[in-house]
A = this chain, B = another copy of it.
Amino acid sequence: MNNERPLILISNDDGYKARGINFVAELLSTFADVVVMAPEGGRSGMGCAITSKEPVYYSLVRECQHLAIYKCSGTPVDCIKMALHELFPDRQPDLIVGGINHGDNSGVNVHYSGTMGIVIEGCMKGIPSVGFSLDNHSPEADFEPCAPYIVKIVEQVLDRGLPTGSCLNVNFPATPLYEGVKVCRMARGEWTQEWEEHPHPRGGNYYWLVGSFCLRDERPYEADRPNLTEGYVAVTPIQIDMTDYSLMQEIQANWDL
């Protein structure tokens, strides 16, 4: 790295007022120039969704020496697209950060995660990108123990870069006193019992999406979700190329299409 402060773009899916994103923005602005472009409200579970049917707005909320905060009416991915289009005429960000999210994004939850939507979008734009999530939904969740890990991971990514088409998904355990860091793969499993049914006062039923995650993983010691549960900070490298190359060869060789 040169002597210039790194330029970091941050977004989230909990909205620009969330404690998590403000914690990370303050933390990183001690050594970087930080721009936040985050949704104006909560956008949990938006994955890589984009806004195609409505116009999108953004505006500056506040700025000081090394930190500027913008809000955007769109999805988490819209925020990244908008920031890259509007805010960096001379210099692309050196790093894109998603989070830190209130709630974990380990395992297959990457597919539903707005935090990881941000990171996948940054990665598709060729910018090193990292998502941070804390496995704790409590309004009083303590982000402080994450700080040294976030700084160290950000420094390593700024220093080493990431391969084109790959990004990082970092999840922190629910309670402090972490056991250490484990570099993991995405845990396998599925959500079950996903809907909670209630009778509507004017007839019929309505349904809330709930559910519990069932780990179905034959080698849990390699996987992020179980390591997270055991108190490790889980670092999972994610690639945007989802091709199943072995199935590609199998179909080419044996299917009749």
Residues of A in contact with B (beta carbons under 8 Å apart) = 42, 44-53, 55-59, 74, 77-78, 81-82, 85-86, 108, 110-112, 117, 120, 124-126, 149, 152-153, 156, 160, 162-163, 165-166, 181, 183-186, 188, 190-191, 194-195, 198, 204-209, 235-245, 247-248, 251-252, 255-257
Contacts and interface: CB of A to CB of B under 8 A. Distances in A.
A173 to B, nearest CB: 15
A235 B209 contact: no
Nearest to A126: B190
A44 B75 CA distance: 13
Contacts of A245: 185, 237
A112 B49 contact: yes
Tell me the number of copies of this protein.
Answer: 2
Given A165-B188, A208-B55, A251 B235 contact: yes
Contacts of A237: 243-245, 247-248, 251
Contacts of A206: 55-57
A209 B156 contact: no
A53 to B, nearest CB: 7
Contacts of A149: 257
Contacts of A184: 248
Contact of A243 (B56, B185, B243): B185
